[in-house]
Amino acid sequence: MTEEKTKTIDIDEALYRPIYETGRGFYLTVGILLMIILFAAFMYVRQVYYGLGVTGMNQPVTWGFYIVNFVFFIGISHAGTLISAILRLSKAEWRRPITRMAEVITAIVLAIGGLHPIIDLGRPDRVLNIFTAGRLQSPLLWDVTSITAYFTASTVYLYLPMIPDIAKLRDRGGKLTRFYDFLSWGWQGTDHQKKVLNRAINILMVMVIPIAVSVHTVISYIFSMTLQPGWHSTIFGPYFVVGAIFSGIAALLIVMIAFRKVFHLENYLKLIHFQYLSTLLLIMSLLWFYFTFSEYLTGIFGAEPHEMDVILYKFTGPYAIFFWSMVVFNFIIPVIVLSFKKFKTIKGILFASITVVIGMWLERLNIVIPSLANPRMELGSGMYFPSLTEWSLFVGAIAVFVLGYVLFSKFFPIISIWEIEEGREESIKEVEKRVKSYLPGPAETSD
């Protein structure tokens, strides 16, 4: 029986292969990543033992890499669930091979980002004080609330559409049957089950959008609720959300290109997918520039002295290199690459996506540090140099992300198989019907 099962070659065999075939590359990658993570964990334990003095933070720059990375990672997490929900909601048929990858990014990166404020604490042993003595008036508590909500919603939103695929893995037998049996919740693909699943996905995707928007808005509130120059700005909420989606799409493109290459998914992720998604990236780049321009123009035009201290610190001061490279990476390069069809190849898109991810990280740096480094009181401006601890925790966080992704792809198909099948079987007819319904009916012949 089992032999027969393995013999039947599925049309989507390419999607199952990475789960059942493990090469040396896999062990090597996992090994290297684990070493990096272990080193980062060691550096963190050292930080807890000695105190935050091992970082480069000081007075007045009391926040450093940890908060920058917190904002950055949570921003990346907007790739997934939000984009997948928008694509599902707008019935974009080309979403089918993309949604799962996007949602996995969210789940992993959100967990990493959510840990960063705890890494940043001087007394991580007292973190539970936020439950026993929490003040809901503090923007930090708003954050805890909305990130928890987003994490819950997005993991459920990742898991539900996985159930039919897990059932497929269970039916294949072989590896970890009991594990898949447990996770598939007795999925048999009956009409009733399909109906319930579809309804659940529909409810979730509508719910997830406002939650995702709230998350980055609230993160921007951490800064904008204070009176500090450069932070105290009404535009911050939408500015952060736009930046988050922007960096999220770029991260998604990088992940897609990487998996396409490693897992040989050229048949599933075609140039057209990248071109559609990179058009979205181009739009976000323009939007990002619009927000950045408005933000700085209002500051410069009003020329309030403390505000100007911060702006000059970024424009011509010690942060000029970071500020102007941010503009180049986030605006000039992506717009040039993505506006011309000639550059809009996989390589071009990969290049633009990498610059956007770096540029958006620089943006977070440009928001957090200069405002802190230029206090309103006449104390002179501060400077911040991250220490080895902060760098290794940064690299460690990225390693956790890659490891999480690699392990996920070892146990679950990275592209939603049943949705691809559904696309093949039903959506062509459905789309034909839908398009016909948009068009004017047959002209009434009245003679």
The gap between the terminal CA atoms of the chain, to the nearest Å, is 67
CB 59 within 8 A of CB 234: no
Counting Cβ atoms within 10 Å, is residue 149 exposed (0-12), middle (13-18) or buried (19+)?
middle
> What is the DSSP secondary structure assignment for residue 421, as one 8-state letter?
H
* C-alpha dist (Å) from residue 358 to 16, 66, 73, 254, 346: 33, 16, 12, 12, 18
Given the complex with other proteins, which of 146 and 184 has the nearer CB atom?
146
Query: Candidates 50-58, 245-253, 315-323, 350-358 — which segment interacts with other proteins by CB under 8 A?
Result: 50-58
Instruction: Please give the Cα distance from 333 to 355 (Å, whole number).
Output: 8
Binding-site member from 12, 120, 307, 390 for other proteins (CB under 8 A): 120
Q: Which of 53, 174, 189, 210 binds other proteins (CB under 8 A)?
A: 53
Per rule CB under 8 A, is residue 46 in the interface with other proteins?
Answer: no
Residue 237 binds other proteins, judged by CB under 8 A: no
Residue 115 makes contact with other proteins by CB under 8 A: no
Q: Does 228 bind other proteins (CB under 8 A)?
A: yes
Of 414, 159, 108, give the one whose Cα is nearest residue 265.
Answer: 414
Rounded to whole angstroms, the maximal C-alpha distance in the chain is 92
226 binds other proteins (CB under 8 A): yes
Provide the minimum distance between the beta carbon of 150 and other proteins in the complex, in angstroms, as a whole number: 18
Q: Considering only 132-140, 290-298, 402-410, 434-442, which stretch makes contact with other proteins by CB under 8 A? A: 132-140
Rounded Cα gap, residues 60 and 255, in angstroms: 37
Is residue 139 at the binding interface for other proteins, with CB under 8 A as the rule?
yes
Query: Contact with other proteins (CB under 8 A): which of 3, 8, 23, 135?
Result: 135
Q: Which stretch binds other proteins (CB under 8 A): 5-13, 120-128, 180-188, 336-344?
A: 120-128
Q: Give, in degrees to the nearest 5, the angle at Cα 307 between 306 and 310.
A: 90
Among 6, 62, 202, 294, binds other proteins (CB under 8 A): 62
Rank residues 17 and 126 by Cβ distance to other proteins and give the closer one: 126
Residue pair 364/71 in contact by the 8 Å Cβ criterion = yes
Q: DSSP for 201-242?
A: HHHHHHHHHHHHHHHHHHHHHHHHTS--TTT--TTHHHHHHH
Q: Which of 126, 175, 264, 270 binds other proteins (CB under 8 A)?
A: 126
Contact with other proteins (CB under 8 A): which of 379, 388, 428, 431?
Answer: 379
In the 3-class helix/strand/coil scheme, how is 231-266 assigned residue by residue?
CCCCCHHHHHHHHHHHHHHHHHHHHHHHHHHHHCCC
**The one segment of 35-43, 89-97, 98-106, 124-132 that binds other proteins by CB under 8 A:** 124-132
Tokens of 130: 């936020």
- Please tell me whether residue 308 binds other proteins under the rule CB under 8 A: no
Q: How far is the CB of 42 from other proteins (least distance, A)?
A: 19
Q: Which positions lie near other proteins, rule CB under 8 A?
A: 50-53, 56-63, 117, 120-124, 126-127, 129-130, 133-135, 137-141, 144, 222, 225-228, 372, 375-379, 382-383
